Copies of this chain bind each other. A is one copy, B any other.
Amino acid sequence: MQEILRTSFLILAIIFVNFGMVYAQDAETERLKTERRDLMPVPASVNWKSGRLPVSKTFSVAIKGQTDERLKSYIFRVMRRLEGRTILELPREYAIDASSAQLLIETQSTGNAVPKLGDDESYNLEVTDRQAVITAPTTVGAMRGLETFLQLLESDREGFYFPAVSIQDKPRFAWRGLMIDSARHFQPMEVLKRNIDAMAAVKLNVLHWHLTEDQGFRIETKKFPELHQMGSDGLFYTQDQAREIIRYAADRGIRVMPEFDMPGHATAWLVSHPEIGSGAPGATYTIERRPGIFDPTLDPTNEKTYKLLKAFFKEMAALFPDAYMHIGGDENEGKQWNANPKIQAFMKKNGIKDNHALQTYFNKRLLEFLQKDGKIMMGWDEIFQPDLPKDVVIHSWRGQKALADAARQGFQGVLSNGYYIDLMQPASQHYAVDPIAADTTLTAEEQKRILGGEATMWSEWVSPETIDSRIWTRTAAIAERFWSPREVNQIGDMYRRLAVVDIQLEELGLTHRKNQAMMLRRLVSSHDISALQTLVSIIEPVKEYRRYNLRKQTMLSPLTGLIDAAQADAPNALIFNRAVEELISGNSAENAEKIRLTLTEWRAAQPKLAAQVETAAALSEAKMLVANWQNINAVGLEAVSYLEKNETPPAEWRDATLKTLSELTKPQAALEFAIAPGVRMLVVAAAEMSKLKNASASERREKIRSIAFPKPASKK
C-alpha cells in the first residue's frame, strides 16, 4: 500500500508550517515543561506534588499481589536501567517489608501471559517523599507504570530523585502498533529485540510483523520448506526464532501479529510454487530485487492455491498465538488476472464481475481457513467490503475517512495513513494525525471501532545498521498519539520531550544516534567528520517515494551512502528555521546576529568538506550538494547583511535570489536542504521587513511566508 502514495508529494510549506508551530508554541512550551516534565507518552492524568523521593544505593523494591516471572524480569531490567543512569549499585533482593521499600509494585492479577487485544494496561503511580507505589490490575499495566516511573527520574545538586506525583493512566487506543517489514530487507533477531524493547519504553503494544513479500519469504515452514528455502536467500526466521520473538514481546506486554501479504506482493512464494501463480502456464519466478508494485499474483481460481494456503495458515496459526492474522491484500493491480484466459473464464463462469470481486472471492476462501484456525482476519483497505464478518479488522493506508466509513458499517479499523515512517517526514507531521478526525461525526459506539493505529516501517531502504534511525525517535511521537489524550498535541513540547526519549532509548541498545558518526567515518575513511556532521545536521533524505527515482538501487545495494546516514528532522535545520521565524516575529537585530553567527560557522566547515568530497569517492555523489550548500550559505549571509545594516536590497534581488535558491535546493544525491524554508524566509525578510515595520508579528509572518512559498500553480 505504500507505493500508491507516490502520487502525492510533500511541499516545502508543509514542513515549514510545522516549524512555525514549534515557534508559535514557545510560550506554551514553558508551561508544558512544568506540567509534563519528560513524560512521553503523557499520561491521562498527572498531578505534581511537592516533595521528592531520593535515589540512593539502598533503593529497594517490593512486590505485592499476584506477580509472575514476567513482571519480576521486567522489574529486574528496569532496575538495571536505573543503575545505568545513576551509577548506583542497587539491592537485588526484594525488600521483605513492603512499607519500607522505596518502590512498591502491586498487581491484582497476572493477566494474560501472552497479551491479547483489550488487555487492561492501566496503572496508578503515586510518588511521595517516602515511597513510589505502582498499582495495576495486571502485569502489563505494571510494566507501563514502570516505564513512566523511569521517565520521572531527575537529578540536581542533591543527587537523583523522583518528584512527588500522582498519576492515573490508561491508553486512549487499545491497538498501538509498529509494523516492521522483515521481508524487503531481512532484519536479524537483535534488531527486532531491541526495537521491541524500545516499543515497550513508549508503551506500544503490537508488533505487526510483515513476513512475506515479492522480495522475500522470511518465515520457516515445516510443511513447505521450499517456500523459505527458495524465497529468502537463506535469510529467514526459524520457527524457534519466531517463538523467541513472540516470547520476548509477550514478556514486554506486546502482541505479535504476522502478515502474509496476498494475493499480490507474492513473487517470493512463486519461486518455489510457480503453479499457484496467475502468470502464463510454465512461467517461472525469481526473488524480486527492485522496489515497487509487481505483477506476480496468486491464482484465486486454482484449487492448488487454496490447498497450499489452507495448510500454510494452519501451520502459522499454531505458531503465532495472536488472535489476529494479517493477510495484506494491498496493491493487487490484477494485470496477471486480466491476461490469463483461464482466470477470465473462471470469472465469467462464476459471475465474478471484476478483479475486486475476484479478490473478495479469494479473501472469503482465506477467511474460511482462518476462522477454522480460530483467527480473526485483518487486511489493508482493499479487503473491505460490507458482507465480511464484523470482527474483521480494516487496516487503513487510505486514511481517516476510509476508516470512519468502515466503522459506520460496523467494522473495526486501525489507521496507518499518516504514520508511514519510511517517508522520512518530520515527527510533527505524524503527530498531527489522529486516528479519529477532530470533527468526526461518528457516534461514540462507532468511534470505539477505531482500535488505534500503527507506524509502518517499510524496509525498501533500511538495513540493520540504519533501521533504528528510521523508526526512532519519530515513532515515540506516534506512540504518544495512540496512548495520550487527543489534547496532548503541542508540537514544540513534543519535540522537547522527544529529545529526552531519544537519549533514553539508547540505553536499550538502539543505534538510531550512534550509528550516524560511524557511517560518516566510513564515508570519509577518517575520524575527522566535523564538517560532514555539520552538513548532515541540516540535510534530510528526500521525502515520500522520491528516493528511488533520484538514486536507483535494488534490495541488494549497500545502504551506506550519505542519504543513509542522514535522518528525518535534521536537528540544526529545525533550530535555524525557528530562528528565522523569531527574527521575523520579534527583535530582528538580535536574531539576525544569531543567524549570522550560525551561517558563519557553517561557512567555516565548508572548505574542509569540499576537499573531502574531492578525494573520498564514497562522497563523490555529494559534490554538487556541497557546492550548493556553499552558495545557499552565501545567500543567507547576504540576506542577513541587509537585515543587520537595515539596507533594502535592489528591487530585482528578492525574486532573482528566490529563483536561484529554488535551483540550489533541488535534491542532490537524493538529499535536500532542510534549511531551505528558513533561507527563503530570510531572503524575503531582507527585502520586505522595512515595508512591514508597522505590521503585527503575525501579519509580517503571513506576508513573508506567502512570498517565500507561493501557492503551486494549479495542476496541468
Neighbouring B residues of A571 by C-beta, 8 Å:
527
How far is A366 from B496 in the complex, measured between Cα atoms in Å? 63
- The answer to whether B513 and A521 have CB atoms under 8 Å apart is yes
Q: Kindly identify which residue among B156, B554, B615 contacts A156, using a CB–CB cutoff of 8 Å.
A: B615
Which size class do A's interface residues fall under? Answer: 35 or more
* Docked complex: A522-579 residues within 8 A CB-CB of B: 522, 525-527, 553-554, 556-558, 560-561, 571
* A118 in contact (CB, < 8 A): no
* A486 in contact (CB, < 8 A): no
- The answer to whether B89 and A560 have CB atoms under 8 Å apart is no
User: What residue of chain B has the Cβ atom nearest to residue A557's Cβ?
Assistant: B89
Neighbouring B residues of A503 by C-beta, 8 Å:
521-522, 525-527
Instruction: Return the CB mask of A50-87 against B: 1 if under 8 Å, else 0.
Output: 00000000000000000000000000000010011111
User: Which of A7-15, A327-335, A616-624 is the contact stretch?
Assistant: A616-624
A459 to chain B, nearest CB (A): 17
* A517 in contact (CB, < 8 A): yes
* A113 in contact (CB, < 8 A): no
- The answer to whether B525 and A507 have CB atoms under 8 Å apart is no
* A515 in contact (CB, < 8 A): yes
How far is A87 from B563 in the complex, measured between Cα atoms in Å? 11
- The answer to whether B87 and A618 have CB atoms under 8 Å apart is yes
* A502 in contact (CB, < 8 A): yes
Q: Given A80-B558, A513-B521, A517-B517, A617–B527 Cβ distance below 8 Å?
A: no
Neighbouring B residues of A499 by C-beta, 8 Å:
527
* Docked complex: A155-169 residues within 8 A CB-CB of B: 155-160
User: What residue of chain B has the Cβ atom nearest to residue A563's Cβ?
Assistant: B87
- The answer to whether B506 and A518 have CB atoms under 8 Å apart is yes
Q: Kindly identify which residue among B88, B155, B557 contacts A616, using a CB–CB cutoff of 8 Å.
A: B155
Q: Kindly identify which residue among B84, B159, B557 contacts A522, using a CB–CB cutoff of 8 Å.
A: B84
* A308 in contact (CB, < 8 A): no
How far is A517 from B527 in the complex, measured between Cα atoms in Å? 14
- The answer to whether A155 and B515 have CB atoms under 8 Å apart is no
Q: Kindly identify which residue among B89, B507, B621 contacts A554, using a CB–CB cutoff of 8 Å.
A: B89
Neighbouring B residues of A506 by C-beta, 8 Å:
518, 521-522
* A634 in contact (CB, < 8 A): no
A residues within 8 Å of B by Cβ?
Answer: 80, 83-89, 92, 155-160, 190, 499-500, 502-503, 506-507, 511, 513-515, 517-518, 521-522, 525-527, 553-554, 556-558, 560-561, 571, 614-618, 620-621
A–B complex contacts, Cβ < 8 Å, 19 sampled: A83-B557, A83-B558, A84-B560, A86-B558, A87-B557, A87-B560, A87-B561, A89-B554, A89-B556, A92-B556, A155-B525, A155-B616, A159-B617, A502-B527, A507-B522, A513-B517, A514-B517, A514-B518, A517-B517
